[in-house]
């Protein structure tokens, strides 16, 4: 029996469960892309799949809408792959394990992928339907959005005829997004100088767990703790007093998610152990006080390790790692002075990873102003220069600028008012949407982004509200019905 079989809207949740059953993390979307192609072929619809596994599906307008201007529907089909540390799940080969709880759909210990699987499910349900009035549809399913919008960048928009685009990738019902920030991934890479470990010291695993995490854009203003930044503070306190060594450091899984867990392997002498454990207890209390009401389960632990450790970082390498972690910007940098309550620019140290001879620090930078984005990048480059590290910038994507004359925004406002007798919120978001990329590909494109209520995106607490999915489905049909 399908988990979502009895939920409404039945057609939308059918396709959402199909999507969840297919592994589709970023850069692993081929099977889901092929599924969409097979679906379109079975329905006899025009379909184009490109080398980046983006898929375009076209469907003619229904009776009375044959000559109406086409409408572009757009969602991405990749998901952020995050899981709790105690969960055994292989995102490369396994589908998402779904559960329904208190009117919400969740996953068992992992991200759900409602961001943006629900948007893709809406589109497939519309393409499959034979009882919904709509203009000609051009459904664009893009890939690798979460790691830099690479699919949208690679997509050839030359055969799109529509001049109106509805993006289905927002997470607040009743809020219509009409602009968003731009951003990039700036990676700092520090070469490791190795030295022989102290044979009188024993390896211990220092861990930070229990943090909330969340979306590094839309949740960054909530002041949640970053496991990577906390690890930098802890290591600074330890190494400022004790002559110890570090052998490895890792934290976070995705640069666009606030890191919830981090760990480091330390070489500690027996006579240091009791004092360091006492230090961790004090720090745990300090962090609990600092994040009272925000983080309720911060846990610091120091665990003995059985395996032998031969090499460790040199003292200079360790000092540089700690300096980079302490100095890298995290959180809100500036607020939008025109909108007041919207974040203008931010940065997130999402991933720290130790490879064979390098420690990498992955930073997600966001800003609605190009100059502020560059300022944050310049700060990171200066930190790298001072520590003899290197930087590389990836996944650059543009901001999406608000248009006061947007016809689709006016139509959505009017339709929402008719359905619910109240005005929707017209807003901008401090997160990246592919709309900015499509705006550059199609001059004059009129766009809006809508979606149902999704909470905890980019974390294992991700959940989507079932009733909200139903309401947005009804709203979307009503809007399309008006677009003759």
pLDDT at position 85: 83
Alpha helices in 104-160 (DSSP H): 114-128, 150-154
Tell me the pLDDT tens digit for each residue of 404-418: 899 999 999 999 999
Give which of 285, 213, 287, 292 is closest to 254, Cα–Cα.
213
Report the distance separating Cα 311 and Cα 394, nearest Å: 32
Work out the percent of the chain whose per-residue pLDDT is above 70: 100
Q: Same domain, yes or no, for 156 and 227?
A: no
Q: Same domain, yes or no, for 218 and 278?
A: yes
Q: Same domain, yes or no, for 34 and 138?
A: yes
Lowest mean pLDDT among 127-131, 215-219, 407-411: 215-219
Structural domain includes residue 1: no
Residue 314 CB neighbours (<10 A)? 15
Report the distance separating Cα 274 and Cα 59, nearest Å: 69
Structural domain includes residue 262: yes
- Strands 182-191, 104-107: pairing is unpaired
Q: Region 266-282: what's the mean pLDDT?
A: 95
Q: What is the CATH number of the domain that holds 255?
A: 3.30.70.360
| Omega before 457 within 30 of 0, i.e. cis | no
List the catalytic residues: 78, 145
Structural domain includes residue 199: yes
Q: Same domain, yes or no, for 151 and 209?
A: no
Work out the percent of the chain whose per-residue pLDDT is above 90: 89
pLDDT at position 339: 64
Give me 201's structure tokens: 């010291």
Q: Virtual CA dihedral for 251, 252, 256, 260, nearest 10 degrees?
A: -110
Give which of 476, 392, 395, 393 is closest to 432, Cα–Cα.
395
Q: Provide the domain count of the chain.
A: 2
pLDDT at position 432: 85
pLDDT at 337 over 80: no
Q: Same domain, yes or no, for 224 and 283?
A: yes
20: domain range?
10-181+399-481
Radius of gyration in angstroms for the set of CA atoms belonging to the chain, rounded to a whole number = 24
pLDDT at position 197: 81
Query: What global pTM score does this model have?
Result: 0.80
Confidence tier at 309 by pLDDT (50, 70, 90): confident
Q: Same domain, yes or no, for 116 and 244?
A: no
List of residues 6+ apart from 303 with CB closer than 8 A: 204, 205, 207
Q: Same domain, yes or no, for 409 and 312?
A: no
Place of tokens 């990836």: 394
Q: Where are the beta strands (DSSP E) in 159-237?
A: 164-167, 175-180, 182-191, 194-196, 202-209, 214-215
Confidence tier at 340 by pLDDT (50, 70, 90): low
């Amino acid at each position: 029996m399908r988990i979502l079989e009895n939920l409404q809207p039945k057609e939308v949740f059918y396709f959402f469960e199909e999507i969840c059953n297919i592994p589709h993390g970023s850069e692993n979307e081929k099977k889901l892309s092929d599924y969409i192609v097979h679906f379109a072929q079975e329905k006899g619809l025009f379909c184009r799949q490109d080398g980046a596994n983006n898929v375009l599906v076209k469907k003619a307008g229904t009776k009375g809408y044959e000559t109406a201007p086409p409408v572009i529907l757009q969602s991405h089909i990749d998901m952020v792959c995050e899981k709790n540390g105690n969960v055994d799940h292989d995102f490369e080969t396994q589908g998402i394990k779904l559960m329904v709880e208190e009117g919400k759909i969740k996953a068992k210990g992992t991200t759900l992928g409602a961001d943006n699987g629900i948007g893709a499910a809406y589109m497939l349900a519309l393409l499959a339907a034979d009882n919904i009035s709509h203009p000609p549809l051009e459904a664009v399913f893009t890939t690798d959005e979460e790691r830099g919008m690479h699919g949208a960048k690679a997509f050839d928009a030359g055969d799109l005829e529509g001049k109106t685009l509805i993006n289905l990738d927002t997470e607040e019902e009743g809020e219509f997004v009409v602009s968003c920030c731009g951003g990039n991934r700036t990676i700092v890479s520090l070469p490791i100088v190795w030295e022989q470990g102290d044979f009188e010291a024993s390896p211990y695993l220092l861990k930070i767990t229990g943090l909330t995490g969340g979306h590094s854009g839309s949740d960054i203003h909530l002041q949640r703790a970053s496991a990577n930044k906390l690890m930098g503070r802890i290591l600074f306190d330890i190494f400022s007093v004790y002559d110890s060594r570090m052998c490895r450091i890792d934290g976070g899984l995705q640069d666009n998610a606030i890191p919830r867990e981090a760990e480091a392997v330390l070489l500690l002498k027996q006579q240091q152990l009791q004092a360091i454990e006492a230090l961790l207890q004090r720090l745990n209390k300090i962090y609990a006080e600092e994040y009272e009401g925000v983080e309720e389960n911060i846990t610091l632990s120091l665990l003995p390790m059985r395996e032998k450790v031969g090499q460790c970082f040199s003292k200079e390498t360790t000092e540089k790692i700690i300096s980079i972690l302490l100095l890298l910007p995290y959180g809100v940098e500036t607020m939008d002075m025109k909108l007041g309550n919207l974040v203008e620019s931010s940065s997130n140290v999402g991933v720290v990873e130790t490879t064979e001879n390098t420690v990498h620090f992955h930073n997600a930078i966001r800003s609605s102003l190009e100059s502020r984005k560059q300022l944050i990048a310049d700060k990171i480059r200066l930190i790298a220069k001072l520590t003899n590290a290197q930087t590389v910038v990836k996944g650059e994507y543009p901001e999406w600028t608000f248009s006061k004359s947007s016809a689709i925004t006016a139509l959505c406002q009017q339709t929402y008012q008719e359905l619910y007798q109240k005005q929707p919120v017209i807003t901008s978001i401090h997160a990246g949407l592919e709309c900015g990329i499509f705006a550059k590909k199609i001059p004059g494109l009129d766009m809006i982004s809508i979606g149902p209520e999704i909470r905890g995106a980019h974390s294992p607490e991700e959940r989507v509200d079932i009733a909200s999915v139903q309401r947005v489905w009804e709203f979307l049909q009503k809007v399309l019905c008006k677009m003759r």
